[in-house]
Structure 1
Amino acid sequence: MRVAVRRGIEFAIWMLVGVIASRTWCLDGLPLPISIDSNSMAPTLLGPHRRIVCADCGFRFVRGENRRAADTRAVCPNCGYAGNDATQGPVSDGDRVLVDRATFQFRLPRRWEVVAFRTPGREKEWSTKRVVGLPGESVALRDGDVYINGAILRKTLEQQKATSVLVHDARYAPHRCTPAPPRWRPDSPESRWSCQEGRFVHAASQDPEAIGWLSYRHWRRVPGQPEQVLEGPVLTDPAFDLERRVPAGAIRPTSDLRLSFRWVRSAGSGWLHVRAVDGQMEFVVRIHAATRRAELLCNGSPLPISMPHGPVFDALPASVDISLFDRQLLVAIAGRTIAAYPYERTGPAPPISRPPFSLGGADLSLEVDQVRVFRDAYYEAPPGGPNEWRLGAGSSDRGEELFVLGDNPLFSNDSRNWPAGARLTLTALVGKPLFAWGATEEVACKGWRFRIPNITGFRYIR
């Protein structure tokens, strides 16, 4: 009997030691979930919010919950319909986060990595943001882009996906409440494009040299006249916290856009063309359907960059991504980047007068779906504040410093706007957020009640 009791006590002690060690050195957020209480990192991490289904296009979107907001209408970020009931559905608490406390004991944070840290000036509070500047670097924000030591910071495809904001998803067309023109439209009746429920089909022309174009035309609804739309450039208005007032002058036109679609099938020996325009430069990506090789053109001339000599994908269907983020043409087929061409321009891009993206078929029948347009996060310095920062590298008076930004920059309290003297040093890091989940379930066991994560809502934090 005594042996059994002793073993039971030893087991309980070792279990307690294991929990303490895990919480101290390895993981935070599982025994006591760490909750996100704002939408400064949306859509990567969500604070209190409601999930709303647009009554016009059926698109499902998230609206940040502000309990003091009097507006009971929600604007759909996909079609702009402003008559959605903002009170539909329950208020969801902020995401729960699992934090790995060990990673940064062995290495520095990487650029564009999400980190958890004690908030400068309010050390009892924790924050989560994305790292852009490392110790010893200078950071500047110009025209929405990040510059490190005077050079623009360009992202990989995975980094772009982590910070992208959805502008339009062609699978959700407005038709239930108010009439609106499709955003993807043929350039002419001879283009031979048709659309059905977000799937676009091109029929081959009798002329093998003719390119039939389907172009994206961005429009916005006229306030107070939902049946009227105005075509224009993509703007940097927020896709989250739509009930909060946006600072005057904070919304700007942008040409940092990304097109993503799936090439489903094709027939013929012609070419798929994808055209991307940033206001000053026109790029065309040509993919031959039979040989599956690719070519790149800039303003009508071949680009002087190295390209794969063989097929750029194995078989259809295949995903296609074309982006103009950070003054760089990036082309990825089937998840593999085949070209990254940096280019320069003087000053911000002028408003786009031509469609930013077009799809074309020449001597080819083809079908594409899952067509979506994204924009990049647009970072600006606060009005009246600095637009360049020098980070400490570990000197006697300043520790090794990091520069962090939120994914929802219009409503993020980060390195741009902390009080003077408030800086994030490596010693303030808590750990690396690994997973987030938005739903928990209460479980009762012998009088004890626990909240455990619903594994169906788990997602890895990019």
Structure 2
Amino acid sequence: MAIPNDTPLPPTRSSRKGRRFLWACLGLVVCLTLARGAFFRGWLAPVRIAGGSMAPLVSGEHFACVCPDCGESFACDGRVETAPETIVCPNCGKRWDRPDGAALPGDCVLVDRWPYLFRAPERGDLIALRLTPDAEDWVLKRVVGLPGETMAIRQGEVYADGRLLQKSLDELRQLAVPVYDDRHRPASLPDPPRWISEGGDAWERTPTGYRCRADAGPGFAWLTYQHWRGFAAPGPRTAVSPIVDHYGYNQVLSRSLNPVRDLLLRCEVVLPGATTARFQLTRECVVEVSATRQSVRVLIGEEIASEAFFSGIQPGRQFKLEAAICDHRVLVGIGQKTIAQCDYPGTAATPAAGQASEPKDEQPDAMPDQPALAIGCRGGAMQVSDLRIARDLYYLDAAGLGRPWQAEQPLGSDEYFVLGDNCPVSQDSRHWPAGTITRHSLIGRVLQFSAP
């Protein structure tokens, strides 16, 4: 059949592809124009960090250090007045002279100025702010207290209206300060006594971790942790020490250190079907994992405080485990998912809604010389690898000491309480007059951070 000359032909496949390509190019041009406009108008502002009040999350002017013994990478303060001559590795305690050379500029963060035009800041937000309306410099802090709350610090923990502020596992991951990374073992010590097989040779070292033999016996075979101090002090670096609130970033800061009990243990685990694993966080608290039951139990004094079942625990298959005690609560995660959590004995009673009670002004509990971290295996072989230990932040009073601190009055209706993660060196709401940080002081929320 003949087609009239004035009848349009249907579009070919190549013409349709050409149109889609043109629309894609046009969309890209529009997106780039909007992005350029956002930066030009200051909606998204790149900011270079100058100080170390938020280290180790983001660093100011610093030296990028790599331990010549264990290979651990970390940053230390590079400002002239605080630059160290000798560097101590916070992971293995190795000392070496700082190489000559200029310090690196601070990390760069991207600040989004839009969010607080439409909503109030939330607890935990990382924010940029001005201390005075005409201040040119921006300050980076974390929102801890909200309007109307009365803030206090006791034994390294923060309270609002007498209520202990408890972190989730996601929040702890962001705030945790590295303590020891077994992936970076010191080469000069062929058998570093950090994780030790108790009562024989049931556990053996592997290139990436440790393996428990299948014939280890009927009971639990334990692999226990010994901590070394990772800061300058008399004596050998292998001397056992409690875990304290030391920052590798603050190499030259001299102050009293406080034992830290809030710890996070991370590792990769492989369990055969008949094996039961235990991860001891304190002498009374154990996380028990069974591949046969596909379960996680939190045991406190051998009593089951919490139990959860998770299909991600498969016999013979590797999974990532996180177990922590933080803010008087036990947290357990598999992969990136929180599986179990429960209160840990000793938690102050939570006041009823609408009521407030002041935290007791108690002396800190006596701390053991060593953390009680240990890994137990029963009923078969077991492998653990990529063992890492981190600690929670330990908040101090305005003088940088571990004494109780109490705000003189509640926060105003538009006022916020902000702190720096590097508490020993941070200048923040503990030091500033009441009413300094209001919503009008806030510039925006930090979106991302990157190395220089």
Q: TM-score, normalised by structure 2?
A: 0.82
Measured in 2, the distance between the counterparts of 1:43 and 1:256 equals 17
1:60: which partner in 2? 73
2:265: which partner in 1? 259
Could you say which structure has the larger radius of gyration? 2
Secondary structure at the counterpart of residue 160 of structure 1: helix
Give CA deviations for 1:69-89 in whole Å, capped at 9, x if unaligned. Answer: 574211101011122x32266
Secondary structure at the counterpart of residue 237 of structure 1: coil
Give CA deviations for 1:263-306 in whole Å, capped at 9, x if unaligned. Answer: 1x3334120111111xxx61111111223212221112221x4x
- CA 1:344–1:271 in structure 2 vs 1: closer, same or farther (change >3 Å)? closer
1:26 equivalent to 2:43? Answer: yes
1:413 equivalent to 2:432? Answer: no
Secondary structure at the counterpart of residue 38 of structure 1: coil
Deviation at 1:115, TM superposition (A): 0.5
- CA 1:36–1:391 in structure 2 vs 1: closer, same or farther (change >3 Å)? farther
Given that 2:228 and 2:237 are in contact with CA atoms closer than 8 Å, whether structure 1 keeps it comes out as no
1:387: which partner in 2? 405
1:160: which partner in 2? 172
Deviation at 1:342, TM superposition (A): 1.7
Measured in 1, the distance between the counterparts of 2:132 and 2:404 equals 18
Measured in 2, the distance between the counterparts of 1:99 and 1:438 equals 15
Secondary structure at the counterpart of residue 409 of structure 1: coil
Secondary structure at the counterpart of residue 122 of structure 2: coil
Give CA deviations for 1:58-115 in whole Å, capped at 9, x if unaligned. Answer: 21121110223574211101011122x3226652101112111101111111111100
**Which of 246, 261, 267 is equivalent to 2:254?**
246
Deviation at 1:40, TM superposition (A): 0.7
AA in 2 matched with 1:328: R
- CA 1:71–1:293 in structure 2 vs 1: closer, same or farther (change >3 Å)? closer
**Which of 96, 116, 127 is equivalent to 1:115?**
127
Measured in 2, the distance between the counterparts of 1:329 and 1:24 equals 46
Secondary structure at the counterpart of residue 159 of structure 1: helix
1:437 equivalent to 2:450? Answer: yes
Deviation at 1:18, TM superposition (A): 8.0
**Which of 437, 440, 450 is equivalent to 1:424?**
437
1:41 equivalent to 2:47? Answer: no
Deviation at 1:363, TM superposition (A): 0.9
- CA 1:206–1:158 in structure 2 vs 1: closer, same or farther (change >3 Å)? closer
**How many residues are aligned here?**
402
AA in 2 matched with 1:369: S
Given that 2:60 and 2:106 are in contact with CA atoms closer than 8 Å, whether structure 1 keeps it comes out as yes
- CA 1:314–1:102 in structure 2 vs 1: closer, same or farther (change >3 Å)? farther
AA in 1 matched with 2:382: L
1:452: which partner in 2? none
**Which of 196, 199, 209 is equivalent to 1:199?**
209
1:3: which partner in 2? none
Cα RMSD between the aligned structures? 2.7
Matches within 5 A, 1:241-390: 241-243=250-252, 245-247=253-255, 249=256, 251-263=257-269, 265-277=270-282, 282-303=284-305, 305=306, 307-309=307-309, 311=311, 313=313, 316-345=317-346, 347-353=363-369, 355-383=371-399, 387-389=405-407, 390=409
Measured in 2, the distance between the counterparts of 1:36 and 1:228 equals 33
Measured in 1, the distance between the counterparts of 2:216 and 2:77 equals 52
- CA 1:347–1:71 in structure 2 vs 1: closer, same or farther (change >3 Å)? closer
Deviation at 1:387, TM superposition (A): 1.8
Measured in 2, the distance between the counterparts of 1:294 and 1:47 equals 41
Given that 2:267 and 2:387 are in contact with CA atoms closer than 8 Å, whether structure 1 keeps it comes out as yes
Measured in 2, the distance between the counterparts of 1:221 and 1:428 equals 38
Measured in 1, the distance between the counterparts of 2:237 and 2:42 equals 58
1:218 equivalent to 2:227? Answer: yes
Given that 2:297 and 2:308 are in contact with CA atoms closer than 8 Å, whether structure 1 keeps it comes out as no
Measured in 2, the distance between the counterparts of 1:94 and 1:160 equals 24
Deviation at 1:198, TM superposition (A): 3.7
AA in 2 matched with 1:246: S
Measured in 2, the distance between the counterparts of 1:64 and 1:154 equals 30
Deviation at 1:154, TM superposition (A): 0.6
Give CA deviations for 1:349-379 in whole Å, capped at 9, x if unaligned. Answer: 3212454211111012111111011111110
Measured in 2, the distance between the counterparts of 1:331 and 1:312 equals 14
- CA 1:226–1:155 in structure 2 vs 1: closer, same or farther (change >3 Å)? same
Moved over 6 A (4+): 15-18
Residue range with higher mean Cα deviation, 421-430 or 141-150: 421-430
Measured in 2, the distance between the counterparts of 1:294 and 1:386 equals 36
**Which of 184, 188, 193 is equivalent to 2:199?**
188
Measured in 1, the distance between the counterparts of 2:389 and 2:427 equals 27
- CA 1:59–1:75 in structure 2 vs 1: closer, same or farther (change >3 Å)? same
AA in 2 matched with 1:168: Y
Given that 2:92 and 2:237 are in contact with CA atoms closer than 8 Å, whether structure 1 keeps it comes out as no
Give CA deviations for 1:211-265 in whole Å, capped at 9, x if unaligned. Answer: 110011112379676646322310112221313x233x3x1111111111111x3
AA in 1 matched with 2:366: P
AA in 2 matched with 1:254: V
AA in 2 matched with 1:433: V
2:28: which partner in 1? none
Deviation at 1:422, TM superposition (A): 5.5
Given that 1:261 and 1:371 are in contact with CA atoms closer than 8 Å, whether structure 2 keeps it comes out as yes
Measured in 2, the distance between the counterparts of 1:391 and 1:239 equals 34
Measured in 2, the distance between the counterparts of 1:25 and 1:71 equals 37
Given that 1:40 and 1:412 are in contact with CA atoms closer than 8 Å, whether structure 2 keeps it comes out as yes
Measured in 1, the distance between the counterparts of 2:57 and 2:228 equals 26
Given that 1:173 and 1:182 are in contact with CA atoms closer than 8 Å, whether structure 2 keeps it comes out as no
Secondary structure at the counterpart of residue 116 of structure 2: helix
1:236 equivalent to 2:245? Answer: yes
- CA 1:58–1:194 in structure 2 vs 1: closer, same or farther (change >3 Å)? same
Matches within 5 A, 1:53-202: 53-69=66-82, 71-83=84-96, 85-87=97-99, 91-120=103-132, 123-176=135-188, 181-190=192-201, 192-202=202-212
Measured in 1, the distance between the counterparts of 2:233 and 2:331 equals 39
List gaps (5 residues or longer) in structure 2: 1-31, 347-361
List gaps (5 residues or longer) in structure 1: 1-14, 395-399, 440-462
